[in-house]
Structure 1
């Protein structure tokens, strides 16, 4: 039987000891520590009780004598580091909300958390999980599970879409579509990784083309991966058809940028009975249509016209602010062209220069055409004005910036690129992890009303200090206080349903 005693030592100090009787003599088992105040002695006594309980499994007869395991004196502990468990718990709660929690392997979910916390390779992420969260995974388990995860793409998209319907009332009335390119840290091409037009200005390096579909709020609901030399306009119909087939959609409207408009795409969209709102490249319109626009569109700020064409209704709007910007850019290019003309030895391809009879001269026709289009923005749609007026169509198109925001989050915060994988299966797995991380990140941004970078910075301040009790040899965690402002943000993000 072990006992606790408090004895006086030098001065005002008192010492707390654990002892037992052996043949009527006291035998000191452990010197717990010394203190000068009643509070310190009480804490040391609690630590002594905890030491006895852990050493002997000795039970305490009375409730008020049971040891309190959160009692600790700092001078009796060694600091061994911090965990970011609060960050992990919050993101895991969001994953459960979306539906990933029970349906997706825990290691895959943990890789998604790490992609948001500190992007790294998959194997490096497994190491960092133990460092930052105290979560251990075997590397071998990753190799055993990774192939199975490739079959989860469709299931993950369905879970994400179901969440979008529930959380954001997504009803397919508007689906925003765009593509981007992701480059590789290599110069070797294959069937998937090919050189093409790079949006990252990495034309010498192979890449893939990624198509993304988002809700009007900017929440992702689907993605597709194409070879790096695929023209972005050729991705629209395959992606949309795949989306329709997977989710059995009867009707919706797709919103996309000007690169997606072509005679073939318009015909295919009409055949699938899909409404569309796409940007128009007015610089490519026929001369007759340009004259119609020039003659009918008033150059007053906010003026709009609608013209019926073979590609649907062409809506054109004029903005004084856009006019000033376009005029400035055009004049700058004309001045540059004139400068190049004055130095024949430095002639190179310039927008407003043309070659005629072995002479370099200004392209007056192009300047005249560009002048007519200053300040004008165009949009194609097949939606009748009785269903959606011009202002509604224009506003819907302008919401495309939300998909651009999603790409920025993916590329910058989640560091989707550059990609270091060299085989198609790891590349597809990388995209699955990044898509899931993007869904978690965008939900936090939309509901929490702050960027994922700012949110992460706030959550990373809430650390669990790890202390090793030198008496009991047990690890104690002490969490930093959560600021009320962060609690309010979390309450908006994680709402009970």
Structure 2
């Protein structure tokens, strides 16, 4: 005869064993394990019954029917229950098999909350807002569906109405102001904001009609839907500092100064350098940035090269060497004679003497020249095909139309080929402060803000937008802005893209089971690679 017995061990745990009686003597056949909780005991009892019932699961070949009573932790050694025999259905009720009540990615939720908290965002004092930010990072979706995401993360969600009230509070309670100040404190605490990057993007709406904010304008995605223009200012590493929302038909150049002024007013900043691409290159922007005591590095348009490099072309022709840089000047507006082509030496920009010009740095790259020539060759081939009637399309580049006749604009094509491989940069920073290589290097940091915009559009699904009122749109941008800060910080700490972090941590599900009348939650098994990510995210909190 075989049975299951429970024994109190010296450590205070309850050992579950399988015993049998042979010739009137009791002996231990197998030690199943030791339990310290009712739930653990229930699991061990189930395992013991499986071993008795199915010889294929272990070394036992007992061939007896198992009865499954509700187990209880045994008392102290010497207690009568030490050898509690499970042999009578009349004496003990049957116990149901263990069941999974729920699973949740609690580990992911908790580690993202820890990053949120380490950035100081708990100062907002709105847990619903925090949950909306975390849900936006994990699985961007509608407000109505956000509850499902939070349940998957082991978080009891607020009602949809409560979430919408949180959005209203985010706008009315100036949450963005608080978050922006905390982002600034984090950026200055871990580095500096002496150089900031600025760019704009467009976010479209699934809507048919325009209003005062949502308007049809130039779309980077070539869409014709109503949209808004969003300006974003980040530090040199891509960590967000300021965000601005503008009408969908507003020109990009008109968004720069409002965002910069808002940032300056909020933090009382005077000396800093703004880096932006050629889309921000306007005489007004550069003049007002300079008047405000701010430095700038802005991409120049290639079409300005013949003016800026007139001396070089006269004395050296169109020959450049790979990696060559030319430090010269460029007219602030139109054309002037500050750069005299009669002089072989390029002028050194001086803000006191060159009051009608800015400093210009031009660089030549052989690799860029190869790419530019490839593009021009494709454009020329397309142009010739259109002229020959082999293609029917609107006039491409380098086509000259005279009545019904189309001809190749040889002069324009020749001018374009003279400019291949060149990239220009306009700045008001003297060469004594920043070398040409540093100007170029700082400009190339713009990829960080481009990455932040890609994260906002893809990982955080900032578009399309379904809100209708300006307040709701601004609140949505506040959620995205905060989520972007958390994801950038997570990426900085782990060295991994946020998608990789989510892919590795979301499957770590804790399981809540009901066993032997008790309910208990068991943590997931974590492999070394996952643990390294968790350590990187949480140990950084200790340093902050």
TM-score class, shorter-chain normalisation, is 0.7 to 0.9
Determine which of 397, 401, 406 is the counterpart of 1:360.
Answer: 406
Worse-matched range after superposition: 114-123 or 394-403: 114-123
Q: What stretches of structure 1 of length at least 5 have no aligned partner?
A: 1-10, 17-32, 51-57, 66-73
Q: Measured at CA, do residues 49 and 460 of structure 1 come closer, stay the same or move farther in structure 2, by a change above 3 Å?
A: closer
Deviations 1:142-173 (A, max 9, x none): 2433322112111110011111112x312x21
Match of 1:192 in 2: 213
Alignment of 1:207-226 (within 5 A): 207-226=227-246
Q: Is the 8 A contact 2:240 2:485 kept in 1?
A: yes
Distance 2:217 2:421 in 1: 31
How far the C-alpha of 1:278 sits from its partner, in A, is: 0.6
Distance 1:294 1:331 in 2: 23
Q: Secondary structure at the match of 2:2?
A: coil
Match of 2:187 in 1: 164
Q: Secondary structure at the match of 1:255?
A: strand
Q: Measured at CA, do residues 134 and 286 of structure 1 come closer, stay the same or move farther in structure 2, by a change above 3 Å?
A: closer
Distance 1:111 1:453 in 2: 18
Deviations 1:312-363 (A, max 9, x none): 1111110000111101110111111111111188362110101236521111
Deviations 1:177-224 (A, max 9, x none): 00111111112111111111111222x211111111111111111111
Deviations 1:67-114 (A, max 9, x none): xxxxxxx98410233111000010000001101124341010011110
Match of 2:310 in 1: 291
Alignment of 1:98-497 (within 5 A): 98-150=119-171, 151-166=174-189, 168-170=190-192, 172-202=193-223, 204-283=224-303, 285=304, 288-289=307-308, 291-292=310-311, 294-295=313-314, 298-311=319-332, 312-343=358-389, 346=392, 348-356=394-402, 358-469=404-515, 471-472=516-517, 474-494=518-538, 495=540, 496=542, 497=544
Match of 1:55 in 2: none
State whether structure 2 residue 106 is matched by structure 1 residue 85.
yes
Q: Measured at CA, do residues 161 and 288 of structure 1 come closer, stay the same or move farther in structure 2, by a change above 3 Å?
A: closer
Q: Measured at CA, do residues 303 and 85 of structure 1 come closer, stay the same or move farther in structure 2, by a change above 3 Å?
A: same
Q: Secondary structure at the match of 2:368?
A: helix
Alignment of 1:5-84 (within 5 A): 11-14=1-4, 39-40=31-32, 43=35, 46=38, 76-84=97-105
Match of 1:71 in 2: none
Distance 2:242 2:414 in 1: 43
How far the C-alpha of 1:45 sits from its partner, in A, is: 9.2
Q: Is the 8 A contact 2:39 2:520 kept in 1?
A: no
Q: Secondary structure at the match of 1:101?
A: helix
Distance 2:499 2:387 in 1: 48
Q: Is the 8 A contact 1:196 1:229 kept in 2?
A: yes
Distance 1:375 1:80 in 2: 64
How far the C-alpha of 1:447 sits from its partner, in A, is: 2.0
How far the C-alpha of 1:249 sits from its partner, in A, is: 0.2
Q: Secondary structure at the match of 2:414?
A: helix
TM-score, normalising length: structure 2: 0.77
Distance 1:140 1:347 in 2: 52
Deviations 1:271-313 (A, max 9, x none): 1111000100122x28543534534575110001011123311
Distance 2:38 2:391 in 1: 89
How far the C-alpha of 1:131 sits from its partner, in A, is: 3.7
Distance 2:507 2:295 in 1: 47
Q: Measured at CA, do residues 42 and 438 of structure 1 come closer, stay the same or move farther in structure 2, by a change above 3 Å?
A: closer
How far the C-alpha of 1:140 sits from its partner, in A, is: 3.2
How far the C-alpha of 1:485 sits from its partner, in A, is: 2.6
Report the RMSD for the aligned CA atoms in angstroms.
2.9
Q: Measured at CA, do residues 455 and 344 of structure 1 come closer, stay the same or move farther in structure 2, by a change above 3 Å?
A: closer
Q: Is the 8 A contact 2:143 2:160 kept in 1?
A: no
The count of corresponding residues between Structure 1 and Structure 2 is 450
Deviations 1:15-42 (A, max 9, x none): 78xxxxxxxxxxxxxxxx9966664586
Q: Measured at CA, do residues 376 and 48 of structure 1 come closer, stay the same or move farther in structure 2, by a change above 3 Å?
A: closer
Q: Is the 8 A contact 1:217 1:446 kept in 2?
A: no
Q: Which has the larger radius of gyration?
A: 2
Distance 1:220 1:457 in 2: 24
Q: Is the 8 A contact 1:14 1:41 kept in 2?
A: no
Q: Is the 8 A contact 1:182 1:200 kept in 2?
A: no
TM-score, normalising length: structure 1: 0.84
Q: Measured at CA, do residues 323 and 49 of structure 1 come closer, stay the same or move farther in structure 2, by a change above 3 Å?
A: closer
Q: Measured at CA, do residues 199 and 62 of structure 1 come closer, stay the same or move farther in structure 2, by a change above 3 Å?
A: farther
Q: Secondary structure at the match of 1:346?
A: coil
Distance 1:324 1:75 in 2: 73
Distance 1:246 1:211 in 2: 16
Match of 2:349 in 1: none
